[in-house]
Structure 1
Amino acid sequence: MHRTFLDLLEHNAEHAREFDSRFDEVQDAQHPDAVTVCCSDSRVLQDHVWENDRPGHLFTVSNIGNRVVQRTEQGEVVSGDVLYPLEHTGTELAVVLGHTGCGAVTATYDALTDGISEPPGIEYSIDLLKSRLADGVEALPDDVDRAGAVNRLVEYNVDRQVEALLEDDSVPDGVDVVGAVYDFQDVYGGKRGEVHVVNVGGETSVEALRGAHPEAEDRIRRLWEY
């Protein structure tokens, strides 16, 4: 058996010892306080970002490009893994969390500007992003470098995913939707590992967001107000 997996089992044994009594209240049902839609990336420790170690608190969804949509015979719809907690567990908050230096956004940028070839499974994910990022690529400032373009598109992608949640009739009324970016590259000028709010309920103006949410004013930042 691979040594890495044996190491994982050892860590799981410690986890089981620590968490043995923490499942009592959630063994039979879950009512998470939020669903978080994160990008699949080993650098983003998806529960630890929020210092969460409480079973049942967060319903964490992870995929390439923190997408909230999937393609069906009826067209593109909010993905079942995102919709489930909103529809069936009483969850009233959805958080779309992108991250700086996102590989999925980078690949989509390359696909839209130069063209790339990927295996079908990756191509499916990129295609779902391409349709949402194409206008953003066209609107990028002429003087922005590659890294700057990608990180602006990270915000743009978060905005488009928030928009998809707000516009889909299958999302229950009253669900709050927040878009944010996790920064581990010193892009936003805070501490590495901070989450910065870029969108609340479709509002993307930093001035308007800070005025409406003064309790989080210092965490509301954007690189790009297009």
Structure 2
Amino acid sequence: MRGTITDLLAANAGHAREFGDRFDDVQEAQHPDAVTVCCSDSRVLQDHVWGNDRPGRLFTCGNIGNRVVQESDAGPVVSGDVLYPLAHTGTEVAVVVGHTGCGAVTATYEALTDGIDEPAGIEHSVSLLTDFLEPGVETLPDGLDRAAAVNHLVEYNVDRQVEFLLESEDVPDDVTAVGVVYDFQDVYTERRGEVHVVNVDGDRDVASLREENSEVADRIRRLWAY
């Protein structure tokens, strides 16, 4: 067996020793506080971002581009893995987690500007973002370099995913949808690994969000007010 697998199994043995008694209350059912929709990126430790070490606390979904959308015979719908906890476990908070330097957003930006040549599976995933991001690409501020353009579009993508949740008839009305960006590139501050709130239930205005959420005002900021 490859050494990587051996190392993973050794690490899991430590996990099992530490976590063995933490499943007592969730063996038969789960009622997570939030569903998080993260990007599939090795640099984004999806539960560890929140300091989570409690089984049952978070329902964690991951995919290319932190998408809440999937294609169906009926057209675009909220992805089943995101919708399940909102519909069946009493979860009332959905958090869309973008991140700086996102490869999926970069690929979508390139697809909309220069075109890409990727395997069919990757092209399909990117295609699920193109309709969301195309208006953003067309309205980017002038003078941005490629990295800055991508990070502006990271916010824009988070906004569009939150919007899709809010507009879906499948999502219960009492669900709060929050958009955040995880920064490990010193884009928002020099505190690498910090999560920054950019959108709450469709509100993108930093001033009003800070006023309404004063206890976390220092964690609310945006690159792009459009």
TM range (shorter): over 0.9
Most deviating of 114-123 and 152-161: 114-123
Q: Structure 2: which 5+ runs fail to align?
A: none
- Counterparts of 2:172 and 2:119 in 1: how far apart (Å)? 35
How many equivalent pairs are there?
226
Aligned residue for 1:215? 215
Aligned residue for 1:120? 120
- Counterparts of 2:221 and 2:145 in 1: how far apart (Å)? 20
- Within-5 A mapping of 1:1-226: 1-226=1-226
Q: Partner letter of residue 220 of structure 2?
A: I
Most deviating of 115-124 and 176-185: 115-124
Q: Partner letter of residue 123 of structure 2?
A: E
- Counterparts of 2:190 and 2:212 in 1: how far apart (Å)? 21
- Counterparts of 1:24 and 1:190 in 2: how far apart (Å)? 40
Q: Partner letter of residue 9 of structure 2?
A: L
Q: Partner letter of residue 204 of structure 1?
A: R
TM norm structure 2: 0.99
Q: Partner letter of residue 210 of structure 2?
A: R
- Counterparts of 2:25 and 2:121 in 1: how far apart (Å)? 38
* 1:165-220 deviation line (CA, Å, top 9, x unaligned): 00000001100010000000000024000000000000001111111111111000
* 1:53-108 deviation line (CA, Å, top 9, x unaligned): 00000000000000000000100000000000000000000000000000000000
Q: Partner letter of residue 48 of structure 1?
A: H
SS of the residue 1:188 aligns to:
coil
TM norm structure 1: 0.99
